[in-house]
Structure 1
Amino acid sequence: MSETAMTATAGRLAGKVAMATASTRGIGYAIVKRFAEEGATVYMAARNAERAQGKIDQLAQGNLPGTVKFVYNDASKDETYVSAVEEVVANEGRIDVLVNNFGTSNPAKDLDIEHTNPQEFIDTVDINLKSVFITSQAALKHMAERKSGSIINISSIGGAVPDISQIGYGTSKAAINYLTKLIAVHEARKNIRCNAVLPGMTATDAVQNTLNDEFREFFLHHTPIRRMATPEEIANAVLYFASDESQFTTGQILEVCGGFGLATPVFGDLQDKSRAA
């Protein structure tokens, strides 16, 4: 276990203990940084300890008010979902906020209903769903003891709007949206909230490396706010659900996608014609 302590000052998450999975880069890293900026003790749950330590050292240079620590979690090893939560609780005595950020898909193999290998579909749905289910189950036990907690699931706009590809990924995210609502309903009596944030196309390394320019342009063609989100913009939405500002908000599926899927399908074409006029 590695940690870097930072100067303690009050913030929207001051005194809270949080854990975010898959958080050494992209949206996950932005969430960790945002939580640390607001005074939380936040754990990077990740597989690569060396990379995590590098990020922790980088955050330390900013003299943020929170504390950032590393806890081991390998998405391919089910037992580490539980062990990560247990280590956080053993170290801190509780867990107040869980962010289920992990999600994966291979765009070259996760295609449409006609061309996706069944095992590829099953494997994608399996790993994405269990990363939320098992980790939430482990955290809920401890949150219930304190009668307080917030779980935020990072879903995707692809789980709300059918896409032309990545059928496994979209199906898994749609299921996570349902699971979010189910947890919210079942755990509300224990003062535990559960919400989901659905990013649209976000400017992360993963997007830059896996999606070509043609697809990115096509996607943004149908996004009223004609740009990608920044990871920080997604993290700001997550912060709201993690903070006490959302104490009466649960079961919400918040789309942070620049309006993708909101307008008529011809919106993009009409917008381009208007600009050309």
Structure 2
Amino acid sequence: MTGRVQDKVALVTGGASGIGLSAATLMAKEGAKVVIADFNDAGAKEEARKITEAGGEAKGIFLDAGDEQSIRDAIDFTVNEYGKIDVLYNNVGLTNLKKDLDVVNMDLDEWDRLMNVNLKSVLLGSRFAIPHMIKAGGGSIINTASMAGFAGDSTRSAYGASKAGIVNLTRYIATQYGKDNIRCNSVAPGLILTPAAKNNMPDEVLDIFAKYNALPYHGEADDIGYTVLFLASDESKFITGQTIQVEGGHYNTNPSIADFQAYMEQAGK
């Protein structure tokens, strides 16, 4: 039995840790040849080595997602190494809680930086990959959006705007290149317990998220990785222009429902 993405070639940006690493590892297990591109060059190469030792096929390279030439080089490396690119997973994303504030007080240079790294990198990666995909007969582009692109917040204005931009850019790419057999979809994670989240979020903050989740647990990196694997595979061949929200039902209900339930329980005592 062949793997779900057998013999496909996938480039994963921001793939040295967290969600990107999960997607890269799962695609390699399912038969893809994977290029892990990350600003952490040593980390990318080390994770590619681990995948290779486990029986997969992977290469690790440096990527500066804020630099156009670096993005072009990552696409070119993938095609030169494996002869094609079937899957592009645009996963790089930055946030800065100290500078990306409300619209009156935020650092405008930080706005420009996040738009460049979070949103323009998706445009450029797609721009450089699409001609190769057309030549190969098609492909799948997958972008990491965020639930921050669907709801307002008291801070992270630039981050949320950049992720909302990814949601609509995904639709545009899907519309413009669908007839070339190129699909484009996004995944919008909620709170995912990546190593960075575990190390930086106090238990009290995690408890707040858990209070409003429909499910009784937090998401893990593989919850996004398996979604990316599905979108990379031919199992999703009739899905394009969509953003799949993987967020544990956090945004399903009236936001006051958890407090209302607590009130009813208290009133019933």
Range moving further from structure 2, 95-104 or 9-18: 9-18
Going from structure 1 to structure 2, the CA distance change for 1:129 and 1:275 (only over 3 Å counts) comes to: same
Q: Does 1:234 align with 2:224?
A: yes
Aligned length: 267
Is contact 1:200–1:228 with CA below 8 Å preserved after alignment? no
- Alignment TM-score, normalising by the size of structure 2: 0.93
Q: Is the partner of 1:107 in helix, strand or coil?
A: coil
Structure 2 partner of 1:86 = 76
Structure 2 partner of 1:22 = 14
Is contact 2:89–2:142 with CA below 8 Å preserved after alignment? yes
Structure 2 partner of 1:5 = none
Q: Which amino acid aligns with 1:187?
A: Y
Is contact 1:71–1:88 with CA below 8 Å preserved after alignment? no
Q: Distance in 2 between matches of 1:23 and 1:32?
A: 7
Is contact 1:107–1:210 with CA below 8 Å preserved after alignment? no
- 5+ residue gaps in structure 2? none
Q: Distance in 2 between matches of 1:31 and 1:84?
A: 17
Is contact 2:142–2:187 with CA below 8 Å preserved after alignment? yes
Range moving further from structure 2, 168-177 or 71-80: 71-80
Q: Does 1:222 align with 2:182?
A: no
Q: Does 1:41 align with 2:37?
A: no
Q: Distance in 2 between matches of 1:61 and 1:138?
A: 30
Q: Distance in 2 between matches of 1:275 and 1:52?
A: 50
Q: Is the partner of 1:141 in helix, strand or coil?
A: helix
Q: Distance in 1 between matches of 2:16 and 2:111?
A: 26
Q: Distance in 1 between matches of 2:209 and 2:99?
A: 20
The structural deviation recorded for 1:121 is 1.9
Provide the aligned C-alpha RMSD in A.
1.7
Range moving further from structure 2, 207-216 or 190-199: 207-216
Structure 1 partner of 2:121 = 131
> Percentage identity across aligned positions?
36
Q: Is the partner of 2:3 in helix, strand or coil?
A: coil
Structure 2 partner of 1:174 = 164
Q: Distance in 2 between matches of 1:21 and 1:86?
A: 14
Q: Which amino acid aligns with 2:240?
A: T
- Alignment TM-score, normalising by the size of structure 1: 0.91
Q: Is the partner of 2:186 in helix, strand or coil?
A: strand
Q: Is the partner of 1:226 in helix, strand or coil?
A: coil
Give the alignment of 1:109-120 within 5 angstroms: 109-120=99-110
Going from structure 1 to structure 2, the CA distance change for 1:266 and 1:37 (only over 3 Å counts) comes to: same
